[in-house]
Structures are given as C-alpha cells and as structure tokens.
C-alpha cells in the first residue's frame, strides 16, 4: 500500500460523504440506471422541504423475500384485500410515548394529533370537520381534550374524514360516532377494509367518492380517491385562512409503500407489487394536477415525519402575523412533494423488473 495521493484522498472523502448522506443515495449508485434515474429525480424534487419523505420512500428495501410469490399463491383463495393492518390487540403504549399538545395552525385549522400521527380539525361556521381520528386509545386525549384545551367543542365534530382504513387513522372513529354522533366519511374500498378487521368498527356512514364536496357551514372540502397506500385512500383539499389571507392545503392520504413489508395484507395473485406501485404512481401524478388547479400552497400529511410537522408545529407558538407561516411552502413545493412520492414509487416499480 502506498500513501494516498491528494486526488485519491479527495475521492475517498467524497465517497465517505456519499456514505454519510444516506443509504438511499449510496444504494442508488449500485442500482440499475433506470432505478437510479428515478431516485435522482426524487432527490432533486425533495429540495429543502422533503428530505425525510425522500429518505423513507426512496431507500431500496431489503430484498423482499422470494417467498412473496409462494405466499401469494397460497393465499389465492383467501384473496384478502389490504387488511386493516391491525396487529394483534395489545396494551396501548404509555401516554408519555405519544402525547402531543394541540396547536392552532391556521385561523380555521388545528393540530390535534399525536407525536407521530396527525389529526387535523377544520373549523367552520357550523361545526368541525376532523381529518383522521388517530387510534382508539388516543382519540380522547388528543382530539377531545385537545379541542377543549383550544376552546373548541368536541361535540361539534360533525364529520370525520378517514384518509384510509388503518388503525392509526381510523381507530378513533367509532368513539366519535358513538359519543358525538360524528358522521364518519370513508371510501367504499376502505369501508370494506375496516369491516374486515376484527376490531370494533364504526357503522357505515358516508361513502367518500372521487371529487366529492364535503360542505359544512361556510366551508367545503374536496375529497379525491388516491389508491395506492390502500385501495381506497382519500386525499383532501382544504381551504385555509391565515390572519384572514386565503391558502389551500392538500393532504396526501397515504404515504408509505406498505405492501413491501405487510405482504399478507396486500399481495395476492391479482394484486402483486406492480399493482400497488402503479396505482400509487397514478394517484400521485393525478393529485399533483389537482394541487396545481386548486393552487395548493400548503402540504399536510397524516404523519408528522413527512410534512415537517415535527419542526413546523413548535415554530407556530412564537410566530407573529408578520412572519411567514411555516406550513405555507408554495405551489411548487407542494407539487415537489408529490413528485418525490411518485418518483420513489417509480424507482420501486423499476426495482421489480431489475430483480
Ligand atoms: Zn396506513
């Protein structure tokens, strides 16, 4: 071994830097060019706002077991649609592990979620529309008590829109329905998903359809079916006001590529990985158009990690009306978010062919 030349040292340092910038980037270099191109496009779109989304969605998964096709074949007759992913009932986690304080975010939007899972309360002239209901064990502490802390009345939650039928978003729905008569709004596909689960589920109320207007008092939300994360994932367009100025939010209803880890709930002979990736890609592309037409300048998620809520929510407490709103990222950044989601899904799809 001879001493490293300056050039080699620079190369070694830059290789180390690459290592440190994340596994996704490193893996991309080892991946087929078509995969690497999509990862690079996602990386470029992630910009200053959406690093976390990029890292989570674009990282190459540990190779899915070759068992996938075997297990899919064996479950052919059962052919479950994506399950409600309810892990066997176990004691709920301690409150200190998940509790988050409620936050007023816009004139008419309040954060009443947990540290990781979001619930958004939209206030109108005739009551509240809630978007997502958290878990059954946290809905009271976060949504009910949270609204009271903010001076709002939980009994005025007229509608709860469920982004998709997984426990972290739909678990609190039955409580709200039973306690306040809240009307639960879910897509037909995800009503089925909920009804297949063994948990105590809400009675079927409102079926969300594509392009549906959900109006309460002076406020109308638009719902869009964006299958991918589940068959009936719902994304929502929400009109907002910040000190009287109008903004528009898009909430992307389901983010992670769950089928890569939760094979049993998703993969059947009719619905291989390709099926889920393709739907996700179409939905992300379509919602980017919706966002552009709606002039959406705010991006909301139902997980705090994806939309930057972990850093944005604390910023709101000291903010004055003159300071920029941390959630108002502009139209391009909103579309960039959906580009990251779509390009990472395209990378995932391309990885299938490369296997
Ligand atoms: Zn989910």
- Domains of the chain (ranges; CATH) run 23-60+101-354 (3.60.15.10)
Place of tokens 């080699």: 8
Q: What is the pLDDT of residue 99?
A: 98
Q: How sure is the predictor about 63, in pLDDT bands with cuts at 50, 70 and 90?
A: low
What per-residue confidence (pLDDT) applies to 3?
A: 45
Residue with tokens 């079916």: 225
Least confident of 89-93, 129-133, 235-239: 89-93
The pLDDT of 181-194, averaged and rounded, is 97
Q: Give the model confidence (pLDDT) of 285-298 as tens digits.
A: 999 999 999 999 99
Distance CA 223, CA 122 (A): 14
**What is the percent of the chain with per-residue pLDDT over 90, rounded to a whole number?**
77
Q: Which residue has the higher pLDDT, 27 or 241?
A: 241
Question: Which residues crowd ion ligand 1, with CB under 5 Å?
Answer: 166
Between 24 and 311, residue with greater pLDDT: 311
What separation in Å is there between the alpha carbon of 166 and the centre of ligand 1?
5
Residue 53: C-alpha distances to residues 15, 16, 28, 46, 269 (Å): 24, 23, 16, 8, 29
C-beta of residue 273 within 8 angstroms of C-beta of residue 259: yes
203 or 9, higher pLDDT: 203
Q: What is the mean predicted confidence (pLDDT) over 79-100?
A: 69
Instruction: Kindly tell me if the per-residue pLDDT of 18 is higher than 80.
Output: no
pLDDT-derived band of residue 62, with 50, 70 and 90 as boundaries? low
pLDDT for the residue numbered 212: 98
Average pLDDT over residues 180-198: 95
d(Cα 116, Cα 100) in Å, to the nearest integer? 9
Residue 27 binned pLDDT confidence (cut-offs 50, 70, 90):
low
Average pLDDT rounded to a whole number, residues 98-105:
98
Q: How far is the CA of 303 from the centre of ligand 1 (A)?
A: 10
**What's the average model confidence in pLDDT over 122-131?**
98
Distance (Å, whole) CA 132 – CA 168: 9
How sure is the predictor about 89, in pLDDT bands with cuts at 50, 70 and 90? low
> Residue 305 above 90 pLDDT?
yes
- Within 10 Å of residue 215's Cβ, how many Cβ atoms? 14
Location of structure tokens 């997980």: 303
Indicate if the pLDDT at residue 274 is higher than 70: yes
**Under the phi-then-psi rule, with left for phi > 0, alpha for psi from -120 to 50, and beta for the rest, what region is 225?**
beta
Residue 200: pLDDT band by 50, 70, 90 thresholds?
Answer: confident
Residue 80 has what pLDDT?
36
Confidence of residue 75 (pLDDT cuts 50, 70, 90): very low
Higher pLDDT: 141 or 89? It is 141
64 has a pLDDT exceeding 90: no
- Picking from 56-65, 153-162, 344-353, which range would have the lowest pLDDT averaged per residue? 56-65
User: Band of the pLDDT at 198, cuts 50, 70, 90?
Assistant: confident
Q: Report the separation in Å between the CA atom of 134 and the middle of ligand 1, taken as the mean of its atom positions.
A: 11
pLDDT score at 353: 87
Pairwise pLDDT comparison (112 vs 321), residue with the higher score: 112
What would the two tokens of residue 338 be?
């959906």
Residue 197, pLDDT score: 85
CA 104 – ligand 1 centroid, Å: 25
How many Å lie between the centroid of ligand 1 and the Cα of residue 302? 9
Question: How many angstroms does the Cα of residue 307 sit away from the middle of ligand 1?
Answer: 15
What is the phi/psi pair of residue 14, to 5°? -70, -30
| Structure confidence at residue 354 (pLDDT) | 81
Cα-to-centroid distance, 304 and ligand 1 (Å): 13
How remote is the CA of residue 145 from the centroid of ligand 1, in Å?
Answer: 24
Give residue 164 CA to ligand 1 midpoint distance, Å: 6
321 Cα: distance to centroid of ligand 1 (angstroms): 35
Is 110 a residue whose pLDDT tops 60? Answer: yes
pLDDT exceeds cutoff 50 at 349: yes
CA dihedral (311, 316, 169, 220) positive or negative: negative
């Amino acid at each position: 071994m001879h001493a490293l030349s300056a050039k080699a040292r620079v190369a070694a340092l830059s290789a180390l830097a690459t290592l440190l910038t994340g596994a996704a980037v490193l893996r991309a270099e080892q991946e087929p060019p078509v995969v690497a191109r999509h990862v690079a496009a996602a990386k470029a779109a992630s910009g200053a706002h959406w690093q976390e989304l990029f890292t989570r969605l674009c990282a190459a998964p540990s190779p899915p077991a070759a068992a996938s096709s075997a297990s899919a074949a064996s479950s052919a007759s059962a052919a479950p649609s994506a399950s409600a992913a309810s892990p066997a009932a176990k004691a709920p986690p301690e409150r200190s592990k998940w509790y988050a304080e409620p936050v007023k975010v816009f004139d008419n939007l309040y954060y009443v979620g947990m540290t990781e899972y979001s619930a958004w309360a939209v206030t109108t002239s005739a009551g509240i529309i809630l978007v997502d209901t958290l878990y059954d064990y946290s809905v009271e502490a976060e949504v009910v008590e949270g609204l009271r802390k903010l001076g709002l009345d939980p009994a005025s939650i007229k509608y709860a829109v469920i982004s998709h039928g997984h426990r972290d978003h739909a678990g609190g729905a039955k409580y709200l329905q039973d306690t306040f008569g809240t009307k639960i709004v879910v897509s037909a596909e995800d009503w089925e998903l909920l009804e297949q689960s063994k948990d105590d589920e809400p009675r079927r109320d409102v079926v969300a359809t594509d392009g549906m207007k959900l109006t309460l008092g002076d406020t109308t939300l638009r719902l869009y079916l964006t299958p991918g994360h589940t068959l009936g994932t719902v994304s929502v367009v929400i009109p907002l006001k910040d000190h009287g100025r109008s903004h528009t939010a898009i909430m992307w209803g389901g983010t992670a590529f769950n089928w890569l880890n939760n094979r049993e709930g998703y993969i059947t002979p009719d619905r291989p990985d390709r099926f889920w990736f393709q739907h996700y890609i179409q939905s992300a592309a379509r919602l980017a158009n919706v966002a552009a037409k709606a002039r959406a300048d705010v991006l909301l998620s139902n997980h705090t990690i994806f939309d930057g809520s972990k850093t944005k929510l604390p910023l709101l407490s000291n903010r004055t009306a003159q300071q920029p709103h941390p959630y108002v990222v502009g139209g391009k950044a909103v579309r960039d978010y959906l580009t990251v989601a779509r390009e990472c899904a395209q990378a995932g799809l391309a990885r299938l062919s490369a296997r």
